[in-house]
């Protein structure tokens, strides 16, 4: 079981802070959803975690060790980004060989099964692959790495809905067989939300939420009623968002749905994508 400890982590590019004092810890084998708008700092965080770039300030420790330029850490972290993961001149079979040396828990049998599943050719060069095929190759490497910390950053650009669904099925199957820490960043939140056991939401380089999804589903709800009804119900409760229109009000609140229903309010669950939109300041449709 790996532990990631993040303490006041900062990454600056000139005057711009991509990460601005983020702190949190995760240690359990779970599927984590890392969510946020473009530019929120997600990819920067994942690159620091994978030892690809150093932090500017604060710290990130994996099993008590800094990732940057540390082979003992980075061989246990597999980061698959939306593109540019592999050298263009390599054939797929050569790439798999390289990966087998780099990742201590590499599963060659699984890699070959996934190559067949996604209809890839072992003799094809990376540079000849379509965007969807390149994504399928990245997913293959990420899953077959069996890395204790496996990170997917928008891993399926160019893949159609059927291929993405197949990926989700394989991801869950492999995770059930051998649990590990999987960090998954995507803008297709509604589509992937049922995978997540815990969500971390970034906004403008800061962490604005870390919560288990079961708790979000069980202990938060959207309530709608007259302004007075909603104000009375939410008094003393943790409120995530309120919006008012023509004498009516809707609030996202930490509360039990049955309790809200008993007060005569209209009650619904809060989709994770909607929650992220409001927590990161997006109030309009199409914000992503």
Q: Are residues 229 and 196 in the same domain?
A: no
What is the CATH classification number for the domain harbouring 189?
3.40.50.300
Q: Are residues 176 and 236 in the same domain?
A: no
According to the model, what pLDDT value does residue 287 have? 33
Name the domain count of the chain: 2
Among 172, 204, 236, which residue terminates a domain? 204
Which residue carries 């309790």 as its tokens? 259
Q: Is the pLDDT of residue 284 over 50?
A: no
Q: Are residues 34 and 116 in the same domain?
A: yes
Q: Does 288 fall in a domain? A: no
User: Which tens digit of pLDDT belongs to each residue from 143-181?
Assistant: 999 999 999 999 988 899 999 999 999 999 999 999 999
Q: Is the pLDDT of residue 2 over 60?
A: yes
Q: Are residues 156 and 263 in the same domain?
A: no
Q: Are residues 80 and 151 in the same domain?
A: yes
Q: Are residues 150 and 272 in the same domain?
A: no
Q: Are residues 47 and 168 in the same domain?
A: yes
CB 143 within 8 A of CB 109: no
Among 204, 226, 259, which residue terminates a domain? 204
Burial of 68 (0-12, 13-18, 19+ CB in 10 A): middle
Q: Is the pLDDT of residue 205 over 80?
A: yes
Q: Whole domain around residue 238: which residue ranges?
A: 215-279
Q: How confident is the model at residue 283 (pLDDT cuts 50, 70, 90)?
A: very low
Among 160, 180, 204, which residue terminates a domain? 204
Q: How confident is the model at residue 285 (pLDDT cuts 50, 70, 90)?
A: very low
Averaged pLDDT for residues 258-275: 87
CB under 8 Å to 139, separation ≥6 — which residues?
A: 80, 114, 118, 152, 155, 156, 167, 170
Which has the minimum average pLDDT: 58-62, 83-87, 245-249, 279-283?
279-283
User: Which tens digit of pLDDT belongs to each residue from 94-140?
Assistant: 999 999 999 999 999 999 999 999 999 999 999 999 999 999 999 99
User: Which tens digit of pLDDT belongs to each residue from 25-54?
Assistant: 999 999 999 999 888 999 999 999 999 999
Q: Are residues 17 and 42 in the same domain?
A: yes
Q: Are residues 78 and 191 in the same domain?
A: yes
Averaged pLDDT for residues 266-280: 85
Burial of 119 (0-12, 13-18, 19+ CB in 10 A): exposed
């Amino acid at each position: 079981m790996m532990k990631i400890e993040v303490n006041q982590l900062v990454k600056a590019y000139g005057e711009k802070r991509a990460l601005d004092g983020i702190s949190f810890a995760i240690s359990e084998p779970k599927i984590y959803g890392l969510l946020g708008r473009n530019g929120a700092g997600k990819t920067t965080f994942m690159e620091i975690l994978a030892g690809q770039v150093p932090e500017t300030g604060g710290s990130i420790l994996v099993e008590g060790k800094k990732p940057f330029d540390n082979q003992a850490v980075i061989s246990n972290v597999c980061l698959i980004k939306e593109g540019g993961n592999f050298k263009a001149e390599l054939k797929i079979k050569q790439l798999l060989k390289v990966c087998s040396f780099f990742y201590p828990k590499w599963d060659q049998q699984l890699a070959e099964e996934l190559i067949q599943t996604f209809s890839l050719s072992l003799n094809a060069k990376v540079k000849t692959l379509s965007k969807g095929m390149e994504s399928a190759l990245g997913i293959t490497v990420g899953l077959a790495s069996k890395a204790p910390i496996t990170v997917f950053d928008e891993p399926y650009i160019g893949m159609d809905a059927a291929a993405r669904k197949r990926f989700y099925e394989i991801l869950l199957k492999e995770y059930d067989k051998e649990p590990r820490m999987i960090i998954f960043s995507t803008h297709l939140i509604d589509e992937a939300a049922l995978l997540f056991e815990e969500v971390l939401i970034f906004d403008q380089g800061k962490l604005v939420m870390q919560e288990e999804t079961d708790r979000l589903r069980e202990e938060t709800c959207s309530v709608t009623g007259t302004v007075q009804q909603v104000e009375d119900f939410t008094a003393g409760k943790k409120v995530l968002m309120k919006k008012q229109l023509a004498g009516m009000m809707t609030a996202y609140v930490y509360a039990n749905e049955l309790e809200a229903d008993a007060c005569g309010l209209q009650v619904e669950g809060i989709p994770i994508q909607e929650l992220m939109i409001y927590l990161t300041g997006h109030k309009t449709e199409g914000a992503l």
